[in-house]
Structure 1
Amino acid sequence: MKNKVVFITGGARGLGAGLAAKVISKGGKAFIVDLNAEAVFAQVETLGGEGIAGCQANVCKPADLELAMAECKERFGRIDVVVVNAGILKMGSIEHMNPADFDAVMQVNVNGAFNTIRAAIPYLRETKGYLQVISSLAAAIHTPLMGHYAASKAAVEALADVARQELALDGIDVGCVHPTFTNTAMIQEVNAGVLWGGHKGAFGAIEPEQVIDAMYRGIEKRQRKIIAPKTIAPLVLAPGLFHRVAEGLSRMQGSEQALKKFKAEEAESLTRR
């Protein structure tokens, strides 16, 4: 991690802030962005030193992310890792939830992830870097009152799986993180403990440090799947047991060559515009 530059969305608190602190403690540099400018600057001041910087950015606005990543590169000279961490959680039944809540969750969690991945590609291509996307156990196990959140995290996992195949041609590895219910401020603010607080064993709540350690190890090892705790691995992996097989068959049938051809034609088309 020494001197590696890690760009983290949703980095002013929770898992993002904890990961930034871990990166810095290991000799890396962290650039954090968040919607709340005051929270970003407070976190930068808290961590202190030359290895931390950040700015305000709304992940729903592609221009914000482009400016933030440009600022990160100007400050630190490169971007080695991008962590797509920003997300929100709301609770409500499908029958009675406010449609605006559904839209907000999808905007931040899905569109925000898409925007971040797109903005990251040119920088990670330069460094043959690593993209880490934060999904959830909710992508595989769908619980009541969290329809919008579960749908968004399933979509985020799908984005990561597609990005992994498309970006492999550029030497970029993609990892997807699946934490279980974690005692962060986001969870506490919506009182999600009414659903998860009494669960034990594989479904028991864990502390943020356990997820942060798993995220950090995932970055170090450029892992494909990061699951915290490991006891929930069967629950996360079962729906995707045949992903690797499908990807292999796809490559055998010429998908890699087709992808190269399509991307070349796409780039040529953009140049002509």
Structure 2
Amino acid sequence: MSTTPALSAQVVVVTGAARGVGALTARRLAQRGAKVALVGLEPEELKAVAAQCGAGASYWEVDVTDVDALTATARAIQDRYGRIDTVVANAGIAIGGPLLDSDHRAFSRVIEVNLLGSVATARAFLPALVESGGYLLQIASLAAMTPAPLMAAYCASKAGVESFAHALRAEVAHQGVKVGVGYLSWTDTDMVRGADQDVVLRQLRARLPWPANKTYPLAPAVDRLVAGIARRSPHVYAQAWLRGLQPVRWALPGLIAAVGSRDVARLAPELRATATTRLRPVGAGGEADSAARGAVE
């Protein structure tokens, strides 16, 4: 196994790379000299991002929940570049609202894309990372640390990917592969802007204590992620205050159960009135999931 090179010599794969966190992460990595391979389901957007990343960039249209297609893509990327040094597992979607108002297929799709898509990503790319002594950064969320009413699917999926990454870290360490978890609070992306269009979710978020009630600019968050990738860090915090939440996260479920239940009860009439507007998950790339299209970023 070779020593992992500096970013300027790395080949980095980014899933969910058409927009938002994934797209800017790819551009920032390319600015630091990395060759980036973009993975997602919006070919025109991926093509545009790849063009911004320079001649060494490429893009690949693939569903992260299709492990066979993803494995074939991993081989094709490795064949093209000769190696893969880092993988950023960023693809994800979200849905909001009460469990009993949600469509079971839409709820399950969030788990499938966010959690099982991350598992498929690791399964597909780990052989190349073992060869290079590389690094896998799994993008999680504040939602992995603390539950949030009306976001059960997203919280479950992000808690799952956090736990998955921690378990995987111990499995592959002896093979020279490092695994990190990236945490983001509310960051200015299409996904967060989409959530804010829901009047009830917007009201609930506004009642969160500072600093969890803010929307943070995208660029500084991505810069922190890229710095963590360069260090191959086990934990990367897109907003610095998230690190301080780790020691007290044990107390949050009980606190949120007490406070959140009152807020949900107060907003119950509005939840009933707006139930039909919460039809489909929204992706990190901003694209709505649909039965016809399949997984999104």
In the superposition, the TM-score normalised over structure 1's length comes to: 0.83
How far is the alpha carbon of 1:95 from its aligned partner?
A: 2.4
Tell whether the 8 Å contact from 2:37 to 2:59 is kept in structure 1 after alignment: yes
State whether structure 2 residue 104 is matched by structure 1 residue 94: no
Q: Residue 72 of structure 1: CA displacement?
A: 1.4
Matches within 5 A, 1:164-175: 164-175=169-180
SS at match of 2:93: coil
- Letter aligned with residue 109 of structure 1: N
User: What's the CA shift for 1:66?
Assistant: 1.1
Structure 1 unaligned spans of 5+: 241-273
Query: How many Å apart are 1:2 and its aligned residue?
Result: 0.9
Query: Quick one: distance in 2 between partners of 1:40 and 1:96?
Result: 34
User: How many residues in Structure 1 have an aligned counterpart in Structure 2?
Assistant: 239
The alpha-carbon distance between structure 1 residues 48 and 202, as it changes in their structure 2 partners (threshold 3 A), is closer
Residue-by-residue CA offset, 1:33-68 (whole Å, 9 max, x unaligned): 1022222122223x1522211110100100121122
Retained in 1: the 8 A contact 2:137–2:181? yes
1:157 to 151, 155, 162: 162
In the TM superposition, residue 196 of structure 1 has moved relative to its aligned partner by 2.7
The answer to whether the 8 Å contact 2:31/2:53 transfers is no
Residue in 1 that maps onto 2:23? 17
Contact 1:181 1:196 in 2 (8 A): no
Mapped contact 1:5–1:29 kept (Cα < 8 A): yes
CA RMSD of aligned residues (A): 1.6
Question: Residue in 1 aligned with 2:205?
Answer: 196
Q: How do residues 90-169 of structure 1 correspond to structure 2 at under 5 angstroms?
A: 90-169=95-174
* Cα separation, 2, equivalents of 1:159 and 1:210: 26
CA contact (8 A) 1:32 1:54 kept: yes
Which string of whole-angstrom CA distances, capped at 9 and with x for unpartnered residues, describes residues 117-140 of structure 1? 111110000100000000001011
Is the contact between residue 137 and residue 236 of structure 1 (CA under 8 Å) also seen in structure 2? no
Q: Which has the higher contact order (CA 8 A, sep 6+)?
A: 2
Q: Give the direction of change, closer, same or farther, for the CA distance of 1:89–1:237 in structure 2 (3 Å limit).
A: farther
The counterpart of 1:229, out of the listed 219, 229, 239, is 239
CA distance in 2, matches of 1:5, 1:193: 39
Contact 1:187 1:193 in 2 (8 A): no
Superposition pairs for residues 26-105 of structure 1, below 5 Å? 26-45=32-51, 47-105=52-110
Contact 1:91 1:146 in 2 (8 A): yes
SS in 2 for 1:72: helix
Instruction: Report which stretch shifted further, 89-98 or 101-110.
Output: 89-98
Deviation, structure 1 residue 237: 4.6
Query: CA shift at 1:239, angstroms?
Result: 4.6
SS of aligned partner of 1:213: helix
- What TM-score, normalized by structure 2, do the two folds share? 0.77
The amino acid of 2:32's aligned partner reads K
Query: Residues 237 and 108 from structure 1, CA distance in 2 versus in 1: closer, same or farther, beyond 3 angstroms?
Result: farther
Partner Cα separation in structure 1 for residue 56 and residue 67 of structure 2: 25
- Which whole-Å CA distance do the structure 2 matches of 1:162 and 1:71 have between them? 28
CA-to-aligned-CA distance 1:197-248 (integer Å, 9 cap, x gap): 56563212211112211110111111011112111223235458xxxxxxxx
Among all aligned residue pairs of Structure 1 and Structure 2, give the percentage whose two residues are the same amino acid.
33
Q: Distance in 1 between matches of 2:184 and 2:207?
A: 17
1:136 touches 1:179 (CA, 8 Å); kept in 2? yes
1:202 aligns to what SS in structure 2? coil
